[in-house]
Amino acid sequence: MSRSEATPIAPTRVGPEPTISRPGGIGQSERRPDGVPKVTGEFEYASDMWLDGTLFGATLRSPHPHARIWSIEISEAEAIPGVYAVLTHEDVPGRKVYGMEIPDQPVLAWDRIRYQGEPIAIVAADHPETARRALEKIAIDYEVLDPLADAEEAMRENAPKLHLSGNVLNHVHIKHGDGDAVEADVVVRGEYEIGMQDQAFLGPESGLAVPDGEGGVDLYIATQWLHVDQDQLVESLGLSPEMVRLTLSGVGGAFGGREDLSMQIHACMLALHTERPVKIVYDREESFYGHVHRHPAKMRYEHGATRDGKLVYVKARTVLDGGAYASSSPAVCSNAARFAIGPYECPNALIDSYVVYTNNPPCGAMRGFGAVQTCFAHESQMDKLAGALGMDPVEFRVKNAMTTGSTMPTGQRVEGPTPVAELLERVKAMPMPEAAGDGPRDLRELPGGVSNTTHGEGVTRGVGYAVGFKNVGFAEGFDDYATARVRLSVTDDGPLVEVHTAAAEVGQGLVTVQAQIAHTELGVERISVLPADTRVGSAGSTSASRQTYMTGGAVKMACEAVRERLFERVKEEFGESPNSLSLEDGSVVSGDRMVASLMDLLDGEDIEETVVHRHVETFPLDANGQGDADMQYAFSAHRAVVDVDTELGLVRVVELATAQDVGKALNPQAVEGQIEGGTAQGLGLALLEEIQVRDGKILNASFTDYLLPTILDMPPVKMDILELADPNAPYGLRGIGEPPNISTPPAIVAALRDATGRELPRIPVRPEQIAGVATQPPRRSPQAGGGYADIGDIRDRSET
């Protein structure tokens, strides 16, 4: 991509400001305080930061997915005027590998390349263009190797090992009840596949590292989890945690793609080496290579049911392509196992989930991970089974729906409200969109739109349903916690609550919710949410639908601790029992009687409390996949209505309807926004979005070729939000971010099958599959072919 920047002369701009607002309490649709700078263009994204003397970083990446490196020659690049540093693996001061769960990924590759786009060298120069030109002068002697680009192939015993530990990165086995050793009246089988989705956050990766002159560094970064970044930086930079300080800068969306490191270590290395601030900004193409994606998966399922429609057993085998490095693959693999059969009661299950190293792009976290993949499979199976039984698909699901007290395949008892049947019944009961009239139709309401491909002829309507679920928060014994510091003071403008956490606002609205919680708990109008940084303890990741629950819960607890100390002060000064006191409008009151104003109580003596919020303990799975691994489950159901041009395979999603239990909507407008946005990403996965990878190489690393849902693709969303309080959760709330894009794709595909009668076993569904003119023969139909291979361990299969 040719791009010519002038030498930046923009004013110095670095570091976020506190976000001050006067919100109402929880349960109200408060406007987001960060919405103010966001609509005026004053919000500082990571890519907006400048400091005098800043150098610009660039990254040399491998063009080959699999290669050996024999030599790296940098002297010619170093000699270019304006180049301040050219660094390679030799310059990594500490641990030369990194990774969130398993440190298996080189900071800069040394002897082997495992994916296309793997970083090898980094450059800092006085101009971005100079830095990029210097990359071209780095000479690498590669021995190009055949890529191992197929996950099933990589699992074979004789496959070349990409890592010393072997290619199977994780295998989770669950045996529930009698496993598959049971008979059923009706059996259906299916094989399903899901492509590689990209998070496609709109603001590409960016960060600014500023050396402190004493050997330490400050990093301003768009990320999802400051402390896990810091942990990895400390290791690879060989510095103490005090010397590596991180501050969250404006984040242009995340969706899982910022949970792993991108340029964090690189920018810090260059800054420490040059003793100058170093900024790295990826462009869109580099962004496709610079972060992990959603795991593609192949899923083979067998369901057995009684003639009257009760599930008897499920066998499921999922193979996830983890790509070159571990990232969060072990957790994704476990999710794909735990949520393999969906939110249903089933007495027997045999589940095997694998995640495998290949030379494909590394895959990791994306919204709903593990559950998105398997939901497409189990919901496709539920429709197939309903069809085989002659039952209505919703009725069949309702009949098998999980309820409070149901048992997961892991043996875990499902606690709290579990409205699976209710969600399905609610989406079914919502009014249907109007059927097309007899007269001429507006082209914009037809598949193909103003391309004028049909006037209604050949267009069929279909309706489909799906329900999905996933855990909230980190599972399987992970010590999942969030820290919050709350300070109550009085300034010239009156009482002020300052909330300080390290939780990443990535657009979801956490800043608003933190302020609403502080207002609710302390009765103070003016709330300042301080920039998130590592000066306060970890908040954990902005992922797993956990941040309102975990950090919101921590803010609530910290406010309670502040309140307790305030009431002790009231007791000492006024002899009032804390039990009778409450806080309203900046005063301590007892019933209707004002006891003291905060102005008087706090004069010069601020109250500050820091608390850590942990959710209930979870446990790892045993060898049979048994264990209370999860903290909370979140459920949603979708109904999709589609119009399909069956000749051309073009689709128009007419409407999406959804019902979701959110426990308690702290900010209803933001909840709706999350559900609508998640639904849009689900639509993208069902119909549009796939990173095309051939022989380990990405073919469509741009928004020209990677198709995102536009405003024309996305229909109106009807919504029914339930608030069934979870007794264990702060305010009864339930995580909300992920369920919408778990249940959307299978609902859309079910509607397409309803309209076309085609099997459609792979998403995203392409027009040629709908029209039945796929250039590749359609995948073998397990039912028609009858040659369905046994769901055994793949290693057994590979020997035959």
Among 10, 435, 623, 784, binds other proteins (CB under 8 A): 10
Residues 524-583 that bind other proteins (CB under 8 A): none
Question: CA–CA separation, 157 vs 799, rounded Å?
Answer: 9
Q: In this complex, which beta carbon is closest to other proteins, that of residue 235 or of residue 643? A: 643
For residue 52, what is the DSSP state? T
Angle between helices 510-522 and 547-574 (to 10 degrees): 20
If the CB atoms of residues 265 and 511 are measured against other proteins, the closer one turns out to be: 511
Instruction: Give the shortest CB-433-to-other proteins separation in angstroms.
Output: 13
Work out whether 8 is an interface residue with other proteins (CB under 8 A).
yes
Cβ of residue 461: shortest distance to other proteins, in angstroms?
19
Closest separation between CB of residue 283 and other proteins, Å?
5
Judged by CB under 8 A, the residue of 292, 717, 729, 742 near other proteins is: 717
The Cα 582–Cα 564 span in angstroms is 10
Residue 704 engages other proteins in binding (rule: CB under 8 A): yes
Three-state SS for 596? Answer: strand
Residue type, 744: T
- Quick one: angle between helices 329-338 and 371-389, nearest 10? 20
**Nearest distance from residue 659's CB to other proteins, in Å?**
16
**Cβ closest to other proteins, residue 440 vs residue 777:** 440
Cβ proximity to other proteins: between 417 and 509 the closer is: 509
Which residue lies nearer to other proteins by CB, 55 or 355? 55
Is the CB of 78 or the CB of 283 nearer to other proteins?
A: 283
Does residue 6 belong to the site contacting other proteins (CB under 8 A)?
Answer: yes
Taking Cα atoms as reference points, which of 635, 634, 636, 661 lies closest to residue 724? 661
Helix (H) or strand (E) holding 679: helix 668-687
- Residue 577 or 702: the one with the smaller Cβ distance to other proteins is 702
Give me 502's structure tokens: 């390290």
**Binding of residue 284 to other proteins (CB under 8 A):** yes
Angle at 376 between CA 709 and CA 667, to 5 degrees: 60
Can you spell out the DSSP letters for 518-533?
HHHHH--S-EEEPPPB
**Looking at beta carbons only, is 231 or 672 nearer to other proteins?**
672
The 492-521 site mask, x for binding other proteins (CB under 8 A), equals --------------xxxx------------
Binding other proteins (rule: CB under 8 A), the pick from 164, 435, 623, 711 is: 711
Q: Could you write out the three-class secondary structure of 292-303?
A: CECCCEEEEEEE
User: Does residue 747 touch other proteins according to CB under 8 A?
Assistant: no
What is the 8-class DSSP label of residue 715?
A: P
Tell me how far, at minimum, the Cβ of 11 lies from other proteins, in Å: 6
The residues that bridge with 634 in the sheet, in sequence order, are 470
The sign of the torsion formed by the CA atoms of 104, 105, 107, 110 equals positive
Q: Does 288 bind other proteins (CB under 8 A)?
A: no
CB of 37 to other proteins, least distance (A): 8
Rounded Cα distance between 198 and 336, Å, is 18
Closer residue to other proteins in complex, CB, 42/796 = 42
Least distance to other proteins from the beta carbon of 7, Å?
8
Smaller CB separation from other proteins, 47 or 62: 47
Residue closer to other proteins (CB basis): 94 or 586: 586
Rounded Cα gap, residues 696 and 291, in angstroms = 15
Structure tokens belonging to residue 493: 């403008």
| Closest separation in Å from C-beta 665 to other proteins | 13
d(CA 561, CA 412): 33
- Closest to other proteins by CB, 217 vs 670, is 670
DSSP state of 26: T
Contact call for residue 455 and other proteins (CB under 8 A): no
Binding mask 18-47 for other proteins (x = CB under 8 A): ---xxxx---xxxxxxxxx-xxxxxx-x-x
* Segment 325 to 384, residues that bind other proteins, using CB under 8 A: none
Q: Which of 193, 188, 144 is nearest to 318 (CA)?
A: 193
If the CB atoms of residues 13 and 694 are measured against other proteins, the closer one turns out to be 13
Please report how close the Cβ of residue 40 comes to other proteins at its closest, in angstroms: 7
**543 φ/ψ sector (left φ>0, alpha ψ -120 to 50, else beta):** beta
Burial 609-633, CB ≥16 within 10 A → b, else e = bbbebebeebeebeeebbbbbbbbb
| Beta pairing, strands 67-73 & 139-144 | antiparallel
Is the separation of the CB atoms in 284 and 257 below 8 Å? no
Query: Which residues ranging from 662 to 701 are in contact with other proteins (CB under 8 A)?
Result: 669-670, 672-673, 675-681
Query: What is the three-class DSSP state of 494?
Result: strand
If one asks whether residue 15 binds other proteins (CB under 8 A), the answer comes out as no
* In the complex, least distance from residue 5 CB atom to other proteins, rounded to whole angstroms: 5
Please select the residue that binds other proteins; options are 165, 306, 580, 702, rule is CB under 8 A.
702
Nearest residue to 511 via CA among 79, 37, 93: 37
Build a one-symbol-per-residue string for 408-447: x at contacts with other proteins by CB under 8 A, - elsewhere: ----------------------------------x-xx--
**CA 74/CA 79 separation, integer angstroms:** 9
2 Cβ contact partners less than 8 Å away, ≥ 6 residues apart: none
Pair of tokens at residue 435: 């059927």
Minimum Å gap between C-beta 99 and other proteins is 26
Near other proteins in 612-641, by CB under 8 A: none
Report yes or no: 344 and 401 within 8 Å, Cβ to Cβ: yes
Which of the 8 DSSP states describes residue 344?
B
Convert residues 167-206 into a mask of x (bound to other proteins by CB under 8 A) and - (unbound): ---------------------------------xxxxx--
Number of residues binding to other proteins, judged by CB under 8 A:
77
Q: Which residues, 42 to 71, sit near other proteins by CB under 8 A?
A: 42-43, 45, 47-48
Give the strand pairing for 217-221 and 112-113.
unpaired
Closer residue to other proteins (CB): 21 or 359: 21
Nearer to other proteins, 25 or 177 (CB): 25
Is 703 one of the binding residues for other proteins (CB under 8 A)? yes
Q: What residues numbered 248-267 form the site for other proteins, per CB under 8 A?
A: 250-255
CB of 4 to other proteins, least distance (A): 5
Among all chains, which residue has been given the structure tokens 């689709």? 651
